[in-house]
Amino acid sequence: MNDIKNWLKLTTTKNIGRAKAKKLIDLFGKPMNFLGDNACVLKDVDFLSSSIKNELANDTYNFDWQKISDLILKYDIKFISILDDNYPKLLNNIYAPPLFLFYRGNWNIDIFRKCIAIVGTRKASAYGQIMTKNIGSELARSGFTIVSGLAYGIDTLAHFSAVENNMPTIAVMGTGCDQIYPGRNQGLADKILEDGLLISEYIPGSKPEKWNFPNRNRLISGLSLGTFVIEGSKKSGALLTSKFALEQNRDVFALPGDINREESKGPNYLIKLGAKIVTCSQDILEEYDLVPVIKDKVFPKLNKEENFIYNLILDNKPEIHFDDLFVKSKLSIGELSMMLLSLELKSVIKNIPGNKIVAMY
């Protein structure tokens, strides 16, 4: 708790700003090393005014610590700083990363290894809803952590596409992570917490302010390898998220839509600018050399020879090189190639770059 209090003291100090606070962290490490009685180390720091130095040295606070600490305990809110080993590496690489995050859920660094942002309008069309659920579900089953903003519409459906498949998802909030906004998504938030995370750079108790949400969008894209825009106008928050993604040197994907619909103008505009067109999950998965995981489909009947080859591929998951399979199968190249073609036509295997084969079931 004292660690959290010190970080809040630093970031809420008048006129300190994120840039100066980050410089101090780079110079001295944790805030406790230069706050209060330890503020004497700041005497030669030339980018701080005397008033800032005095405020960092005193014992006054610009926040209600009792209220904040009560919320932390009530909602089991946890804290991670940019100095911690488990701070997401992708997020640390963006311009002006948050110095700390509050979160609810079980933090596991693995959840951040392969994230994809799915964003869009609050007023999703039937087409947008269907595509979000279908593509989101396949991305989640294929190993992506879906990142979105817990808003109505596309965000809600993106999170649902993960939780309905018992896969983790991350909701980046524009409020304190104790404040579920919109309130109707309380049930969704509870489901997210089973395997995923609610995270926020805002202090517990922070209400939904309109300027918070554009700011949090940089975290949605910053956590992710790429941002997939489903629907949204050219002035929407989804387009702002894609702008952040471009600035962060991340991939941008867009769902083509009806040119006569306002909510299709955003993704269609992105496609004009060079965003990759997405009509199915494979369009995203192939960018990362991944294959979709098939679910709820009847496994096709295989003959004895096909079953033998398929089991060899399964035994060597996640992938096997053609040459290795040739040696293990003891078939001729022609015979093996025919077996693989038959299995691929039955959609139980797939060839991927590097002359490798993966099982689809």
The average pLDDT across 295-320 equals 80
Position 345 scores a pLDDT of 76
* Contact criterion met (CB below 8 Å) for 251 and 187: no
What is residue 195's three-state secondary structure?
Answer: helix
| Nearest one of 66, 73, 75 to 177, comparing CA atoms | 75
pLDDT band at 288 (very low <50, low <70, confident <90, very high): confident
pLDDT in the model for residue 190: 94
> Strands 145-148 and 169-172, how do they pair?
parallel
Tell me what pLDDT residue 341 has.
Answer: 82
pLDDT at 348: 83
Does the domain made of 104-288 have the CATH classification 3.40.50.450? yes
Packing angle of the helix pair 154-163, 126-141 (nearest 10 deg): 30
Let me know: does 3 contact 30? Beta carbons within 8 Å: yes
Choice among 68-72, 212-216, 296-300 with the minimum mean pLDDT: 296-300
**The pLDDT of residue 250:** 96
Percent of the chain at pLDDT exceeding 70:
97
pLDDT score for 167 = 93
- pLDDT computed for residue 307 by the predictor: 87
pLDDT band, very low/low/confident/very high, at 155 (cuts 50, 70, 90): very high
- Asked if 255 contacts 230 with a C-beta cutoff of 8 angstroms, the reply is yes
Does domain 304-359 match CATH 3.60.40.10? no
Each residue's pLDDT tens digit, 309-349:
998 988 887 789 999 999 999 999 888 988 888 888 787 88
pTM: 0.79
Q: What is the mean pLDDT of residues 261-269?
A: 93
Quote the pLDDT of residue 353.
83
Give yes or no for a contact between 124 and 230, defined as CB atoms under 8 angstroms apart: yes
Going by pLDDT thresholds of 50, 70 and 90, the confidence category of residue 256 is very high
Q: What is the pLDDT confidence band of residue 298, given thresholds at 50, 70 and 90?
A: low
pLDDT, one tens digit per residue, over 162-210 is 998 899 999 999 999 999 999 999 999 999 999 999 999 999 999 988 8
Q: Which two tokens stand for residue 6?
A: 């010190």
pLDDT value, residue 295: 55
Residue ranges per structural domain of the chain: 2-63, 104-288, 304-359
Give residue 299's pLDDT: 66
Q: Which of these ranges, 67-81, 178-192, 218-232, 338-352, has the smallest mean pLDDT?
A: 338-352
Residue 290 has pLDDT above 90, yes or no: no
Instruction: Give the per-residue pLDDT at 110.
Output: 85
User: Do 104-288 and 304-359 share a fold?
Assistant: no
Contacts of 240 (CB under 8 A, 6+ apart): 214, 217
Q: Does 294 have pLDDT greater than 60?
A: no
Return mean pLDDT, the chain.
Answer: 91
Measure the CA–CA gap between 348 and 361, rounded to whole angstroms: 6
> Phi then psi for 197, rounded to 5 degrees?
-140, 145
Give the confidence band of 32 by pLDDT, cuts at 50, 70, 90.
very high
Smallest CA-to-CA distance from 111 within 136, 76, 147 is with 147
First to last CA, the chain: 47
